[in-house]
Amino acid sequence: MPASAEPRSPAPAGQRRPAFDGHPATAGEAPAGGAARLPDFYVVGHQKCGTTALYLMLRRHPQIFMPDVKEPRFFASDLRSRFAERISAPGRARTLEDYLTLFAAAAPGQRIGEASPQYLRSREAPRLIAQARPDARIVAILREPASFLRSFHLQMVSSNVESRRDLRRALALEDARRRGRRIPRGCHHPEALLYSEHVRYVEQLRRFHAVFPREQVLVLIYDDFRADNAGTVKRVLRFLDVEQTVPVAPVQTKPLQAVRSLALHRIANALRAARTNPANAGRVARTVNALTPARLRDEDFSARWRRLAYAQPRPPSQEYMQALRRRFKGEVVALSEYLGRDLVSEWGYGDIG
């Protein structure tokens, strides 16, 4: 049975939300007067599956409002940082009141949305979103497991979450990391490094289908988005019940580079933070940035620095990618049956034993 059908019309913009219960970060009810509005739709992931491009394209539509901050993660209450936050990260609302302020600039009649790809792997987000907005629309994007994990691993290294630059070695540490061992010192979210847990597509979709009617959940496949960007976005616009003929320019997101030197990468991130967000930067980073001569911060030097710190990703080992496909074939078979779509053939799993 397909995972989505023709959607029902969403509730009118500005409709008062139902009682909200159960979020540990909630400080109270929404402000009185009915002015506060929760999102009408949620782009729930996965990461590295086109969620950023979709977010950027949707927010160009005049009938849609999405905040400047991508990934508020408000409803992923089980995926909080393991460190106490000294200063709240921009957009990381910890209370319902703060979360609602992200959407305060929405015009009357606009569809409000947000994109937090962590919601798909969160065990709490589906239930909490459904409590807050039972009429919400959900957009999920899935990708062939081996290519997804390779891209996601590159992102984790780039984000200083993962310290193992080799995917094979990173996946081999999963058992140790489940026991709280071999976790990088600066890793805020150890659960993100349990890579195989991300490829539980059917289980993740079932959590949303358990609390939302199927017609309110749209499941996209990353390959379709890549092959027909405009057509996929029109499908999303139809699902959200907004004007489909409005031209929405495609977005090309910057491809990830592989980290060549973790030390230089961390220094670069620290200096960038000191320049763009001094309040959150460490003392050492602020000091080094202040003492760095301007000539060393110009474009030529930055280009030379990037060549030292980064490189184009090496082609993956086809032998290991095939091993990953063999490992996750059962999930692809189950997903094909669940969605009523032959992803076994489309993703090249048919000949994998």
Q: Does residue 341 sit within a domain?
A: no
Neighbours of 26 (CB within 10 A): 19
Is 28 inside a domain boundary? no
Residue 137 in 3-state DSSP? strand
pLDDT confidence band for 220 (50 / 70 / 90): very high
φ and ψ at residue 140, rounded to 5 degrees? -115, 145
Predicted confidence (pLDDT) at residue 69 exceeds the cutoff of 70? yes
Q: Are 269 and 144 in the same domain?
A: no
Average pLDDT over residues 263-290: 55
Q: For 209-319, where are the E strands, in sequence order? A: 217-221, 258-259, 310-311
If asked whether residues 127 and 235 sit together in one domain, one would say: yes
Q: Are residues 54 and 151 in the same domain?
A: yes
- CATH number for position 219: 3.40.50.300
On whether both 207 and 284 belong to a single domain, the answer is no
For residue 3, pLDDT beyond 70: no
Q: What is the pLDDT of residue 288?
A: 56
CA 256 vs CA 88, 128, 150, 188, 332: distances in Å: 26, 32, 11, 21, 26
Assess if residue 9 is contained within a domain. no
Question: 169 with 298, same domain?
Answer: no
> What CA dihedral angle connects 238, 152, 53 and 35, to 10 degrees?
70
The Cα 337–Cα 339 span in angstroms is 6
Per mean pLDDT, which range of 83-87, 151-155, 178-182, 187-191 is the poorest? 83-87
List the end-to-end C-alpha distance of the chain, in Å, as a whole number. 26
Q: What is the mean pLDDT of residues 159-171?
A: 90
Q: Could you tell me if 206 and 125 lie in one domain?
A: yes
Which one-letter DSSP state was computed for residue 282?
Answer: -
CA dihedral sign of residues 313, 318, 320, 324: positive
**pTM of the full predicted structure?**
0.77
Q: Which residue, of 210, 239, 268, is where some domain finishes?
A: 239
Q: Residue 267: its pLDDT value, please?
A: 54
Question: Same domain for 226 and 266?
Answer: no
Same domain, 183 and 299: no
- pLDDT bucket at 257, cuts 50 / 70 / 90: low
Q: Does a structural domain hold residue 81?
A: yes
Domains of the chain: total: 2
Max mean pLDDT among 88-92, 297-301, 303-307, 322-326 falls in 322-326
Residue 245 located in a structural domain: no
Higher confidence at residue 48 or residue 13? 48
Residue 324 has pLDDT above 90, yes or no: yes
Q: What is the dihedral of CA 70, 72, 76, 81, to 10 degrees?
A: 100
Q: Give the percent of the chain with pLDDT over 90.
A: 56
Taking the mean position of all CA atoms in its chain, how far away is CA 157? 16
**Is 352 part of a structural domain of the chain?**
no
75 and 118 assigned to the same domain = yes
User: Is a pLDDT exceeding 70 seen at residue 68?
Assistant: yes
Q: Does 29 reside within a domain? A: no
Among 185, 205, 239, the domain-final residue is 239
Does the pLDDT at position 139 exceed 90? yes
How many percent of the chain have pLDDT more than 70?
Answer: 69
Encoded tokens for 106: 């929405």
140 pairs with which residues across the strands? Answer: 45, 219
Encoding tokens for residue 267? 């220094």
Same domain membership, residue 223 and residue 102: yes
Q: Mind listing the pLDDT tens digit for each residue in 4-32?
A: 433 333 343 433 333 334 443 333 334 44
- Is there a single domain that holds both residue 156 and residue 302? no
d(CA 185, CA 187): 6
The tokens describing 217, both together, are 């959940």
- Alpha carbon distance 259, 162 (integer Å): 11
- Are 115 and 212 part of one and the same domain? yes
282 inside domain:
yes
Residue 157 pLDDT: 87
> 295 lies in which domain range?
258-311
